[in-house]
Structure 1
Amino acid sequence: MSSWSMAAVRLVEWHVKNANAPLILPVRSTESPEQAADRYLRNLSQNSGLMELFQGTTPYFETVKFKELSTRPGASDQRVLMQANRPGDYTSGSERVDQFRFYFERLGQKNYLLLINPTLGLSIREEREVFDQVYEKFGIYAGLGGDDVDPMLMKQENFHSVNTNTERDLAEIKLIRHFIQRGQKEKDSFKKSFYIGVCRASQLASVALGYKLIQDIPFQVGGQVAHKDDWHAVKLLPTTHNILKGTGGTDLVVNSLHHQSVIYKPGGFLELAALSPDGIVEATEFKNGRGALFQFHPELMKNSLGFHILSKVIQAKERTGAGQCAHLF
């Protein structure tokens, strides 16, 4: 049974001025949406770790309206929930949010943006309800690019990792794990779910699944391939679900905006889907077909390849839910 009918917390659209998409706000049954927004911002202002992202100033959101999520049958399957991870994501100046929204709208999806650590001020039980509803109310959970992942999460010393934020990463990892776990264990075979992670989110999701990272490619691997602010070739590899198959042959040219990457290990939850000429992992896919992680930024390519890759993500999402997989967790 869905947790929705018994939930003490629901997800509400929070439309704010100048945002590229409606924010998703958890609201207790005992709160109005206005009270929930105040509770979130109050707890954010008291969280010193997260306030570092906002340079010590609590963000101001000019509310346009609150709106209940539609309960129309099938509506959840066509929703994309993007995960904000820095203040600029809330503004119309966020190119990556705007480009994701542009492409996904062309592909028939409705876009939303999840607050940074959306469960601030909620209990552990309420947090679990929020996580369950994210899974139940959205077909795609999309992690964005951004800052480096905190190496503490991999039990590593910091080696050239910059702009890290432990509070943000821990909050995001908890939801990523829950979303992936529900997709892996879900017995309701009709439920479509897909996780897409780009750049930082590719790395963060990999860490959530037990993988480690190369923290600085130029120093630890070398400069054979320019991975920072450049374009380079990648070779596609066969996978169980071949999500990227048909995007343009086995050799693609992609953008590159990173200095870290995933260290792949066989036997885990992920399959190698693409490598750069120097052996850096450029894409992986979930063995259960419910996710894909890209080191490059398809949303920022602004060409037919970027659009084609995201259309493959939508096609892969539509194929999910047609059977059960072995338990991972």
Structure 2
Amino acid sequence: MSSSTSTLRLYEWNSGATLAPLILPVRHGEKPEQAAHRYLSEMAKNSGLVELFASQIPQLPMTGFSLLEESLWEPRVLMIANLPYDYSLYSPRIKGFMNVFSKAQERCFILPINANLGLTCEETKELFNLIANNFPFMVAMGGDDVDPALYKAINSHCRKISPSRDQFEASLIRSFVEQEKGFLLGVCRGSQIASVALGYELIQDLPHHVGASVPHENDWHSIEIKSTSHNILKSITPTTNKLLVNSIHHQSVVYREGGILEMAAQADDGVTEATELRNGHGLLLQFHPELMNNDLGAEILLQALTQGKRVLG
């Protein structure tokens, strides 16, 4: 959408209360302080988000606003918030991502949960376009289970779902992938919700449906790397097909051949551990490289950055 017809601008909200600046959509004629108040006020009216935040809506200082310069070429990473501690200085996963990305000279930002609160449908579409135009690298992070209604299933084993959050995140990811202007990294829940957004289903509980031969919920285990069109994951360790990764999940993606995703890694029990977008614009991981605290975790994140720059020219 051209600047002459746009109704939104993106602002950085660097209040000092979060590990990275929040990205705030601001209407023309609206001050960023007003937009921030609108966002928090609408959050307080959303029963699902109030429940997610245990009735403690974020108290963020109304300071530190600056217009985000329109540019696709500045190195930027946008992390999609989905849990309350993403609005704090204490998120281990955001720290883990930033430790690697900041050293690679990437500027890191956080997109608030349901960043479109108070916006119309048309403004939400414009927000998605602005994100695709200004952020060449987006991270869908780990977190709670995905609402099974998004893949037309009955909830049998899902925990702590938040339908409005999940619908927003899935719509954003779908738009981002379809525009093919950036690279998507999905981690754990991020891999799951990205896959659901792209038409896949989930196994709702691995111990129940698959068994416990591989410790997925809170342990480490080996995965087997598969060849893909772009070999994003495989190129990290070309001399071996096995990697040892951490595991903090009880659900996984139901992979199918011939779709937009290619299988990039599996556990010994057949559970999907990684997929790659067939066009090279995304890497979806069931494990958490940002929490591995070793060279392999950092190398995987840097490889995703490298692949992003490669496909964007």
Q: Map residues 129-148 of structure 1 onto 2, 5 A cutoff.
A: 129-148=126-145
Query: C-alpha separation between the residues in 2 aligned to 1:3 and 1:297?
Result: 38
Query: What RMSD, in angstroms, separates the aligned Cα atoms of the two structures?
Result: 1.3
State the shift of 1:3 in Å: 3.3
Unpaired stretches in structure 1, ≥5 consecutive residues: 184-190, 323-329
Matched, 1:157 2:154: yes
Is the contact between residue 3 and residue 133 of structure 1 (CA under 8 Å) also seen in structure 2? no
Which residue in 2 is equivalent to 1:319?
310
Deviation at 1:115, TM superposition (A): 0.6
Q: Which one of 238, 249, 273 corresponds to residue 227 of structure 2?
A: 238
CA contact (8 A) 1:101 1:111 kept: yes
Cα distance change on mapping 1:259 and 1:130 into 2, 3 Å: same
Q: Compute the displacement of 1:5 (Å).
A: 5.2
Distance 1:122 1:72, change over 3 A: closer
Q: 1:169 to 1:72 in 2, by over 3 A?
A: closer
Pick the aligned partner of 2:250 from 259, 263, 266: 259
Residues 1:271 and 2:268 aligned together: no
In the alignment, which residue of structure 1 is the partner of 2:42? 43
Please report how far the alpha carbon of residue 64 of structure 1 lies from its aligned counterpart in structure 2 after TM superposition: 3.6
* 1:283 aligned partner: 274
Give the distance between the partners of 1:247 and 1:281, measured in 2 at CA: 19
Letter in 1 for 2:243: L
Instruction: Provide the residue aligned with 2:199 in structure 1.
Output: 210
Question: Given that residues 4 and 133 in structure 1 are in contact (C-alpha distance below 8 angstroms), is that contact kept between their aligned partners in structure 2?
Answer: no
Structure 2 Cα separation of the partners of residues 206 and 72 of structure 1? 28
Provide the identity percentage: 47
Q: What do residues 233-269 of structure 1 show as CA deviations (whole Å, max 9, x unaligned)?
A: 0010000000012323311000000000000001110
Alignment of 1:16 onto 2:15 = yes
Deviation at 1:58, TM superposition (A): 2.4
Counterpart check, 1:6 vs 2:43: no
Relative to structure 1, is the Cα distance of residues 266 and 4 closer, same or farther in structure 2, using a 3 angstrom cutoff? farther
| TM-score, scaled to structure 1 | 0.92
CA distance in 2, matches of 1:312, 1:117: 29
2:71/2:134 contact within 8 Å kept: no
Are 1:117 and 2:114 matched, yes or no? Answer: yes
Amino acid at match of 1:96: R
SS in 2 for 1:59: coil
Alignment counterpart, residue 308 of structure 1, candidates 287, 296, 299: 299
Cα deviation code 1:131-174 (max 9, x no counterpart): 00000000111001000111121121212211111111001111
> Which range moves more in the overlay, 136-145 or 58-67?
58-67
C-alpha displacement at 1:73, in angstroms? 7.2
Query: Which consecutive residues of structure 2, in runs of 5 or more, have no partner in the other structure?
Result: none
Per the alignment, residue 188 of structure 1 pairs with none
The 1:110–1:152 alpha-carbon spacing in structure 2 relative to 1, beyond 3 Å, is same
Residue type at the aligned position of 2:56? T
Q: Number of matched residues?
A: 311
Give yes or no for contact 1:271–1:286 (8 Å, CA) kept in 2. Answer: yes
**TM-superposed deviation, 1:4:** 4.3
Shift of 1:123: 1.1
Q: Secondary structure at the match of 2:33?
A: helix
Please give the alpha-carbon distance, in whole angstroms, between the structure 1 residues aligned to 2:153 and 2:71. 46
Output the CA distance in 1 between the equivalents of 2:308 and 2:3: 22
What is the CA–CA distance in structure 1 between the aligned matches of 2:63 and 2:18, rounded to whole Å?
10
Deviations 1:175-225 (A, max 9, x none): 011101111xxxxxxx5x101110001000101111111110011100110
Partner residue, 1:187: none
Contact 1:83 1:115 in 2 (8 A): yes
Cα distance in 2, alignment partners of residues 26 and 277 from structure 1 = 44
8 Å CA contact retained: 1:214, 1:262:
yes
Q: Which of 96, 103, 106 is matched with 1:106 structurally?
A: 103
DSSP-derived class of the 2:142 partner: coil
- Name 1:81's counterpart in structure 2: 78
